[in-house]
Amino acid sequence: MNLRELREEYENTHLSEFAAKSSGTKGRAKPQEKCDIRTEFQRDRDRITHSKAFRRLMHKTQVFISPEGDHYRTRLTHTLEVSQIARTISRALNLNEDLTEAIALGHDLGHTPFGHTGEEALDKLWPEGFRHNEQSIRVCEKIEKNGEGLNLTWEVLDGILNHRGCCSPSTLEGKVVQLSDKIGYINHDIDDAIRAGQLREEDLPEESVKILGKGSSERINYLIRNIIRESTGKNDIIISPEARKAMYGLRDYMFETVYTSQLQMKERRKIARILNELYNYFKEDENRLTEEFKNIIVKGETLERAALDYVACMTDRYAIKQYTNIFMPSSWNVY
């Protein structure tokens, strides 16, 4: 019996009856020989962390665009924080921690440059609409590895696709990530907003703070414990009504004071212009795309779709650099 089989046997005998078992996966779109060391979900986790899309998250906005300070969150640090929260919950509930980690690490692979502001710009630009969870699936299936895709398991793809609040993941591990994403971004965005001087801890809604506590650490700890307590022994991931109301109270407050603030709205217009002009430029000529995105066309996609994918995959700084190189005049050094 090899190491993978030993791990599969452990999952089948020790994990919760409600946990997803790697030996029972629905498989991959392209069947392949199994690894003798890692389970299928462990392989997915590794494929995600070694992908180019994962590395690009380092230079993609979480909330604050191109911050000067070293301690503001990026899309990558947000992803790692979500993974940590989700793994803590999954381990306590005896769920499949490897599946949870893979979903958490991959859930934002399709996020745009400039955070949700960039996503809104592309959503208005593309006739079919643009949603980062769906783009994450495109990254995993059609863009990574020069168009070959990562060939992830059905369970990981399901969790990535359905991590948004309006969706319903098929596994408990996916549901854990869905809640952990909200816990992470609400509380960590509050941290960053305080650091930026846009709000103070004492400005937060009193009714939410009274329930969840003061400071992000205390609030995250409360929410994790609440989910574990409410979900133990159940075939569902549950947060109590009181905790959910308090959490969404903070979320609503952030939308009112930070996400849609005058400063953000001012930057939103600039970002929309950058992404619109880049998209229109690249959709005019296939040869303006990199080879990676030309391969998307070779595999049957339109030039317009390939151009959208290219812009969506850009980091903040790469989008600004491309915009400057293409649309801004260069200085002449004539002597």
pLDDT score for 264: 66
User: Whole-model pTM?
Assistant: 0.95
What residues pair up with 74 in beta bridges, in sequence order? Answer: 61
CATH number of the domain where residue 145 is located: 1.10.3210.10
Q: In this structure, is residue 180 part of a structural domain?
A: yes
Distances (CA, A) of 254 to 3, 41, 59, 200: 47, 35, 23, 12
Q: In this structure, is residue 281 part of a structural domain?
A: no
pLDDT score for 123: 97
Backbone torsions φ then ψ of 60, nearest 5 degrees = -115, 140
Q: What DSSP assignment string belongs to 48-99?
A: HHTSHHHHHGGGSBSSSSS-SSSSS-BHHHHHHHHHHHHHHHHHHTT--HHH
pLDDT score for 69: 59
- Tell me 28's DSSP state: B
pLDDT score for 63: 75
Q: In this structure, is residue 120 part of a structural domain?
A: no
Q: Which residues of the chain have pLDDT under 70?
A: 64-70, 261-264, 331-335
Q: In this structure, is residue 314 part of a structural domain?
A: no
pLDDT score for 198: 87
Q: In this structure, is residue 303 part of a structural domain?
A: no
Q: How many CB atoms are located within 10 Å of the residue 241 CB?
A: 9
Q: Could you tell me the residue range of the domain that residue 176 belongs to?
A: 3-50+64-111+126-258
Q: In this structure, is residue 37 part of a structural domain?
A: yes
How many separate domains does the chain show? 1
pLDDT score for 6: 98
| Contact criterion met (CB below 8 Å) for 250 and 189 | no
pLDDT score for 236: 98
pLDDT score for 104: 98
Residues with Cβ < 8 Å from 29, sequence gap 6 or more? 141, 149, 151
Q: In this structure, is residue 321 part of a structural domain?
A: no
Q: In this structure, is residue 289 part of a structural domain?
A: no
